[in-house]
Every structure is written in C-alpha cells, then in structure tokens.
Chain A
Amino acid sequence: EIVLTQSPGTLSLSPGERATLSCRASQSVGSSYLAWYQQKPGQAPRLLIYGASSRATGIPDRFSGSGSGTDFTLTISRLEPEDFAVYYCQQSVTSPGTFGQGTKVEIK
C-alpha cells in the first residue's frame, strides 16, 4: 500500500498570502494518478486537481498543482477567505487509492 505523507499538518496564514502544501509518496505514483481535494466542515470533499497539475472544472486559477514521482505540491497563490479548509492528496495508481492525512489551512 502506498503511504502519502502531507506536510505541514497545519498552516496558519492570512488572507492574500501564498499557501504551499506538500504531499510525499512512499513510492512513485507517476504524475497521472495524484489528486488534491478540499474539504470544508460539514461538506463532502471537492476535487481541485487531478493528474497532479490539471484543475478540475470550475476551480479558480489561484489553485495549482505540480510534481511527479514521489513529491507533489499544491499551491494557493493568494488565499481567499473561502480557501480556509482541510486539503487532502490522494493516489490512484494502485488499489487501494490511499489519501494523505490532510493539511489544515487556518486563518492566522
């Protein structure tokens, strides 16, 4: 089973700042099978990025993904108030399609 480790656990930032979230895999997942999700309290997760760097439908361009192999990054260029949430990475190159433990982006 591929283990995904996200860092940091919590990111305390102010609106307008840049957020950089990391996801490291225990073995290569290539670049086609890494996705990022956003989850707000009381809501289902929402797909942000698939294939490591492609934005899902309707996702603002302040969200961007990069990386391949074992190291991936989600960047939010300028945090908006609605971006404070928990973010998960997920791999689907092998079954089971494991999630990282999440990074909480909170208001500083």
Chain B
Amino acid sequence: EVQLVQSGAEVKKPGESLKISCKGSGYSFSSYWIAWVRQVPGKGLEWMGMISPGDSDTRYSPSFQGQVTMSADRSIRTAYLQWISLKASDTAMYYCARLGLGSDHWGQGTLVTVSS
C-alpha cells in the first residue's frame, strides 16, 4: 500500500526556522516526484513546487522560490520542506503528494502555525 506520512503539527514564532517531513512507503520512492501544496485555513490549494527524490531535481513555483527549500533523502525515503525564517503568513496546512498519474497519493498534512 502506498503511503505518505507527514510529520506532526508545529507551532513556531516569527523568525524561527522549521523543517517538516514526508516519508514514503509501499513504492519505489526514487521513481516519483513529490509535490508540496499549501492550504491557508479556509482557502484553496496552492502548488509550491516539486522534487525528484532520485536526483534532487527541484522546481519551485515563482511564488515560493526563495521562500522555502525542498530536499529529499532517498536512503530514508523522506522528502523535506524547510523555512529559514518563518512569517505569520506561513501559517497553513502543508501537504506532500506523490506525482503519478495526477497527484495520486497525499500525505495527511502538517499544520504549521506561526504566531508571536
């Protein structure tokens, strides 16, 4: 069974750093791109970018370029999304998704709350 399991909810202060994770199982992790999607509470889905765990090729949406860093460690089948300096506007649910035929499997989401 294909599964993506994300790390737990985080509460951070503005200016702090954060790295959240997405661990894949049940398939060849290196063979499928992983996308990251943001959802601000009560709002729609936003495509942040994607990473190929096989070679760490990364594509960012212009809206998120320079704001976050995507990485992956194929040896432990885990993709990461990282912030150096969080802002209140980063408060959102973050999903990872496997890119098969469409985004065919999704993680359960990681809620990030940034508040002073």
Determine whether A84 belongs to the interface, using a CB cutoff of 8 Å to chain B: no
Q: Assuming the A-B contacts A90-B47, A95-B59, A99-B47, are A56 and B102 also in contact, with contact meaning beta carbons closer than 8 angstroms in the complex?
A: yes
A100 to B108, CA, bound (A): 21
Residues A97 and B35 in contact, CB atoms below 8 Å apart: yes
Q: Within the complex, what minimum Cβ distance (angstroms) separates B78 from chain A? A: 18
Q: Within the complex, what minimum Cβ distance (angstroms) separates B50 from chain A? A: 7
Interface residues in B58-95 (C-beta closer than 8 Å to A): 59-63, 95
* Chain B binding surface SS class: strand
Determine whether A96 belongs to the interface, using a CB cutoff of 8 Å to chain B: yes
Residues B106 and A44 in contact, CB atoms below 8 Å apart: yes
Q: Which residues of A contact B35 (CB under 8 A)?
A: 97
Q: Which residues of B contact A14 (CB under 8 A)?
A: none
Determine whether A85 belongs to the interface, using a CB cutoff of 8 Å to chain B: no
